[in-house]
Structure 1
């Protein structure tokens, strides 16, 4: 009698990708592939099945516990040229794998709510100061060698990143901006004189059926960048933009020391690095929100400018500078000291 091979999680992923190929972006469709690859590394030659990732009568799942322990202790981060480095993955990476596992189990119509994510944690990001944004904008990228064509593309990355720091869209929304997203609205100043302000109006889109209309006024430098490219910002791929903006920030002298903290299981890994080393596309969004807050903008207005549905999401982005926290702490005690005299 012919024996049918057990359905694997890789099979489930292939069917899920086929079912959602018309509704989700290519990047979203590729997200579970990381989980599938890690499962293959965990148990070479033994494909994982959805049924084994189900709880027993006591609510435990030994295969999942073993997989998570392997991720924390044994899995290695990918390095350059296919090499591996740093034994053990960061907690947020493990958290992303658990989310993908829940997604595939749900698609397979198996219980998935029982999987608890004890790994996800908020990452403390370091936004740029306004002076650092301007320092980067004034930096003129140099050609790597005579006849190189990289200088122009580097200017593109610099302009796109600075524009993002001054307007705040997600990378995916930044890449979709088009000339028709700019409107000139007429306002009257205190003297009653009419003036036109450039307003960026775009659809923020996390998933295809969830759209939010966002309005944000353009700072003069952001408007200058917009006009330079006639509303067609040359946004590169996320990977290319991250790699290039790190190089540009380093060359521009953004070497302020920042504390980089990541969790690996119960371990906390803390290291001092230079700012350019931790800059990413999402740093621009953090920078915009932080600069707006430091400049005195109301947090509700900031929420509208970035399209957050929940005010607490906006508050989670707000980062006060360390020196401001110290000053505030000392000022509070000084006020108490004056009142007690």
Structure 2
């Protein structure tokens, strides 16, 4: 497998349709620019759907890729190594912020086990049947997985994207359930952006103290040394310092772009996978939205590299897809406004033109009358 092959398969959203959507927007009773970013989103959705007016977002779904990372053994996370399955269980039980929001917004949640480090019996078969391997290697001293496993994980993500597109999903909210995932994500972003470990290392969604941050920074530094020699091959890069869940997310993002399925990215992990995807196919980011700014320095650097402007900045750092899901109503609102706002009637346009003429004529009469009065 060569991820560069995706470059020939991915097209940009339809520019002609977007121009049609822009022209239609100019005829709305609400003046152009009055709705701010909502206008831009509505036009982007029209281009993605190849439809004017845009169709409402009615079948959104949250997709979460789950995995454990061996680097968490270095105490670089606020959670103990090998406990990502607890996050999965809590989400399934409706006891996480993401689960509460999904329930409130009536959005179904799908969890994909790409590399959890737990006994399969702890979770439902629907979750664990996709597992590529049990946990990922400690990337500061060993590969996260083999290249063959990385390819298997990418193909898993591609298959999930196809299933979602075929089932009628019209927008995906993408997130992760991982322990140690932000360390791998920071390494990927540092490698692809050519920057140092200290610039990209944050404190993760669970929060860590200064000593843990120093350990995390050292782990990213050591992993980065291992990553730089394989920068020319995205699949090998994912195998070296990524993880099964990150490789699966990368394959998912790329195949969603192939299938013209828009995706809202969540935090630093999804941003890292998107950056790998951009390296493989430069048009792919045109199909993605940045849901929120998470506060992770690596995420901000990745989004800047992809020219993705976050929809929200509310200080939500919990991860697990929560920030991206909070952006969903904003995107749905953009679609609803673009589809349902009425256009000005021809009579209204004529009245506006008549008013302009009268105003212009009145000014001219005054200008003419003024010298005579003098």
TM-score (norm 2): 0.25
Q: Which has the higher strand share?
A: 1
Taking CA–CA contacts closer than 8 Å with sequence separation of 6 or more, which of the two structures ends up with the larger relative contact order?
A: 2
Q: Which has the higher helix share?
A: 2
